[in-house]
Structure 1
Amino acid sequence: MPYVNVKITREGATPEQKAELIAGITDLLVRVLDKNPATTFVLIDEVALEDWGVGGLSTLESRRRPTAS
């Protein structure tokens, strides 16, 4: 009974995109690990940009800074 938790930043993923993620992840587990899709759970959590950190900064702050070339 696989359980997959996907975390994405809250930036407007559509219900159709989320459905595609759920179907794709389920299909991958069926194909690679021979799991039963009826007992495969996929949960998508959307996280606010200020609650997601990378490089010691929130994603919101990181995107505000100029990128190094």
Structure 2
Amino acid sequence: MPLVHIDLIEGRNDSQIKGLVEDVTNAIVKNTGAPAEHVHIVLNEMKKDRYSVSGKLKSEEDQ
């Protein structure tokens, strides 16, 4: 059972999330031979004020 964890910053719409999990599932199936019904994906969406790069919060980029 492949289990994929994806961390990303919030802000994507339902269509983008749906496309992401479909593409990741297809890649796992193609490259491992696992059946799609055994592929599990966990999405962790982070608020922009809870993620930082180079000491700056991502929320600061919007200001």
Query: Alignment length, in residue pairs?
Result: 63
Q: Which has the larger radius of gyration?
A: 1
Q: TM-score, normalised by structure 2?
A: 0.84
Structure 2 match to 1:3: 3
Poorly superposed stretches of 4+, deviation over 6 Å? none
Higher relative contact order (CA 8 A, sep 6+): 2
Q: Which residue identity is paired with 2:56?
A: L
The unaligned stretches of length 5 or more in structure 2 are none
Deviation string, structure 1 residues 5-35 (Cα, Å, up to 9, x no partner): 1122112x11111111111000000111212
Counterparts of 2:59 and 2:27, CA distance in 1: 32
Please provide the CA RMSD for this pair: 1.6
Is the 1:8–1:47 contact (alpha carbons within 8 Å) kept by the matching residues of 2? yes
1:44 aligned counterpart, secondary structure: strand
Is structure 2 residue 25 aligned with structure 1 residue 31? Answer: no
Structure 2 match to 1:56: 55
